[in-house]
Structure 1
Amino acid sequence: PDYAKVVCRCETVTEAEIREAIRRPVGARTIDGIKRRTRAGMGRCQAGFCTPRTVQILSEELHISPLEVTKFGGNSKLLQSYLFTKGEDDHAQR
C-alpha cells in the first residue's frame, strides 16, 4: 500500500499522504501546495530527495506532464524541455 512508501524521509511523509493532499476538495496543485499540506520537502534536505517523486505523483494524479508541474503556480516551472535539432551542433533550443 501507498502508506508503506515513504517519499520524504526527513519528515516521514508517505505517498498515500501526498495523494490524499492532491485529492482533497481543495487539493494541492503545486509542489508548495504539497509542502504546506504534508510537510514533504521541509526537512533537513530541503526537498533534495523527495521533489522528483513528488513531481511524478502530481503528474500522475493531475494527468499532466511532469513538465507542467509548478513550484507555486503560474509560470514557476520546475523542469524545462529542450528540443535538439540536427545541424545546430546539438545546442539546446527552447
Structure 2
Amino acid sequence: MMTALAAPAANRIRAIYWTVAALVLLLPAIAMQVTADVNWGPGDFAMMGGLLALVGIGIEMALRATLGTRARMIAIGAILALFLLVWAELAVGLFD
C-alpha cells in the first residue's frame, strides 16, 4: 500500500510518463510533415501506441505494487529496457 508521501511521487511519475508517451507518438507525425525520411503508416502508429500503453500499464503495476522504492525503480527500469529492446528490434531488426 502506498503511503501518503509516496502518492505525489507516483502521480508525478505517471504524469511524466504519459506526457512523454504522447510526445513520442507526436514526433513522427510532425517529422512526416517536414521530411520524406520518416514514413509511418497507421500500423506503425498503432504498434507504437500499443507498446507505449503496455509500458504504461507495467509502470502502473510497479507503482501500485507493495515494493520498496528501490525495487519499484528497478522494475520500472527493467520495463523501459525491455521496451527499448522491442522498439529497436521492430525498427532495425537486431536479431535478424
Q: TM-score range by the shorter chain?
A: under 0.3
TM-score (norm 2): 0.25
TM-score (norm 1): 0.25
Which has the larger helix fraction? 2
Which has the larger strand fraction? 1
